[in-house]
Amino acid sequence: MDRAQPKLNILFIDDEQHILSSLKRLFMDEPYDVYTASSGADALELMKKLQFAVIVSDQRMPVMSGSEFLEKAKIMQPESLRMVLTGYADINTAMNAINIGGASRYLTKPWNDNEIIMIIRDAAEKYNLLVENKRLTELTIKQNEELRKWSTELEFYVQQHTIDLSKRNKELDELNKKMQQTLGQIIVSFTTLMELRDKSMHSHASNVALMSSDIAGKIGLNDDAIKKISIAGQLHDIGKIGIPDLIMIKNPEQYTIDEMHEYKKHPIRGQAALDAIDFFREPALLIRHHHEHINGSGFPDMLKGDQIPLGSRIICIADAMDRLVNSHEISMSVEDALAKIKNELTIKYDANLYAYLAESACERLKASALPKDNIELELKPKDLVPGMTVSKDIRTGTGLLLIKKYTVLNNQNIETLRRSYHIDPASTGVFVWAKRK
């Protein structure tokens, strides 16, 4: 380390002045500040004012011997290097000074000049190392303490930040759920408006969306895929909006060639209407292919088998099922509809989906069976309570579907119903199942 260091202080103690003088002379050219004292008491006084690197004391002195002085010096300045200066005859007392006074060694009188200079230099260097070592140890302790403090502060900051983030995430999650819910409600409202044009197919879009997402769930598709299939199911016939009313009121089996040509445009129109919106791009593709047949005889692109997106194959089979069971003209039983679809598996539908369709249809039938201890009641909106199950589709006075049959009422949909009955009142009350008392 290249740090500018102050000169070290060296202290010699002897009751004989000529010895002190010669020692002072000897160290005149050395890089130390040399101090002398003629007694232990004087030396201790000096030590109150100055820090000494090396202290060399004569052993044999009146009043306070060298070892007595060094013992006191050790207490005052424990880091200094202490030595005792003695004649040959005093070896035993010198050993005492080493043991009691913590002297690092003893020097003999008379001394060899070069030897004593070398010893003092050596001791001064050792003192420097000791002081530096002490400084570094203290610095390490201080830095460790600071590190510990920083680490605690950092830990606290990270904890606080994590709490803030998870709170923010929760808020975002809730906002996202609300937006998804609103989007779902907008889509349903929109398709309900569309279905007003085709009175024979009330609730068709919602039925197809429900059955399609049910089948997708049974297959084991992930939530994102199920959601896209549900949206596509809800909007699959949105392209029919461009079909003239005269065609809409007919059954597709009665179409002329030109009318069929017009009708076959609706999947492409549906895709084109939604493709501009990023969120709808994937559902829009499923809509384009919802009339493709497994053997390639469908439209608009005459795709075959696996070429048809899975979501489109699901919507196609659910669409057929709902038309067979729920359209006013056909109105088949669930069993007959399933039998008809089974017959057309290699022509129109994906045979792998049939079992899931049948399972879903049977579950719906079971769910619709009215438990024996329930009775159907017609209630005013103000008398509805959460937990009641709707027994007939609820529509506004002008025919918009508000809530589907089998929906369990909660505070939110009861509130919507009450508002709607105020704006566009239906001619009847709300039909619900309630437990027989």
Cα–Cα distance between 421 and 383 in angstroms, integer? Answer: 13
| Segment interacting with Fe ion (CB under 5 A) among 20-28, 59-67, 225-233, 314-322 | 314-322
Residues 237-256 that bind Fe ion (CB under 5 A): 237
Of the pair 204, 395, the CB lying nearest Fe ion is at: 204
Give yes or no for residue 292 binding Fe ion (CB under 5 A).
Answer: no
Of the pair 14, 237, the CB lying nearest Fe ion is at: 237
Of the pair 82, 323, the CB lying nearest Fe ion is at: 323
Residues 119-158 that bind Fe ion (CB under 5 A): none
Q: What angle do CA 142, 144, 147 make, to 5 degrees?
A: 110
Of the pair 292, 319, the CB lying nearest Fe ion is at: 319
| Segment interacting with Fe ion (CB under 5 A) among 32-40, 69-77, 158-166, 311-319 | 311-319
- How near is the Cβ of 315 to Fe ion at its closest, in Å? 8
Residue 255 structure tokens? 């179409």
Q: How many CB atoms lie within 10 A of CB 86?
A: 23
- How near is the Cβ of 290 to Fe ion at its closest, in Å? 6
- How near is the Cβ of 339 to Fe ion at its closest, in Å? 20
Of the pair 34, 205, the CB lying nearest Fe ion is at: 205
Cα–Cα distance between 400 and 403 in angstroms, integer? Answer: 9
| Segment interacting with Fe ion (CB under 5 A) among 24-32, 254-262, 319-327, 365-373 | 319-327
Q: How far is CA 404 from CA 64, 68, 243, 285, 329, in A?
A: 111, 106, 27, 27, 21
- How near is the Cβ of 259 to Fe ion at its closest, in Å? 15
- How near is the Cβ of 316 to Fe ion at its closest, in Å? 9
- How near is the Cβ of 231 to Fe ion at its closest, in Å? 15
- How near is the Cβ of 319 to Fe ion at its closest, in Å? 4
Total residues in contact with Fe ion, by rule CB under 5 A: 2
| Segment interacting with Fe ion (CB under 5 A) among 58-66, 216-224, 236-244, 280-288 | 236-244
Of the pair 120, 243, the CB lying nearest Fe ion is at: 243
| Segment interacting with Fe ion (CB under 5 A) among 218-226, 235-243, 337-345, 386-394 | 235-243
- How near is the Cβ of 337 to Fe ion at its closest, in Å? 14
Of the pair 319, 350, the CB lying nearest Fe ion is at: 319
Give yes or no for residue 319 binding Fe ion (CB under 5 A).
Answer: yes
Of the pair 237, 292, the CB lying nearest Fe ion is at: 237
Of the pair 34, 314, the CB lying nearest Fe ion is at: 314
Of the pair 82, 228, the CB lying nearest Fe ion is at: 228
Peptide bond into 78 cis (omega under 30): no
| Segment interacting with Fe ion (CB under 5 A) among 5-13, 318-326, 335-343, 428-436 | 318-326
| Segment interacting with Fe ion (CB under 5 A) among 26-34, 230-238, 385-393, 400-408 | 230-238
Q: What type of residue sits at position 159?
A: Q
- How near is the Cβ of 394 to Fe ion at its closest, in Å? 22
- How near is the Cβ of 260 to Fe ion at its closest, in Å? 13
Residue 120 structure tokens? 């003092």
Instruction: Give the contacts of 436 (CB within 8 A, at least 6 positions apart).
Output: 373, 374, 375
Residues in contact with Fe ion by the rule CB under 5 A: 237, 319
